[in-house]
Amino acid sequence: MKIENQGFKAVQPLYMFLAILIVLSVVFNFLLANEGSIRSSKGHILVITMMFIPTISYVITKIIFKKKLIIFALR
């Protein structure tokens, strides 16, 4: 249980960074939407990609932490 708590504490700043990224993407979307119709569509694409980045990074971090826990258990 102690190892899992340490892992969560290590991942927490990453989640904060991802939250900031999402906020920035939303802000970018509004700025692009005000520019024009062509750029607004690009903004929506940008936001969609930004929404997928956190999920991908979350999965990667989960896999890394699982591997670290397995290595720790084997020792």
Note the pLDDT tens digit of each residue in 25-75. Answer: 777 766 666 655 555 566 667 667 767 777 777 777 777 777 776 666 665
Domain membership of residue 59 as a residue range: 3-74
DSSP letter for 1, please: -
What is the pTM (predicted TM-score) of this model?
A: 0.34
Q: What's the total number of domains in the chain?
A: 1
Q: Which whole-number Å values give the CA distances from 56 to 1, 41, 59, 62, 68, in the listed order?
A: 25, 23, 5, 10, 19
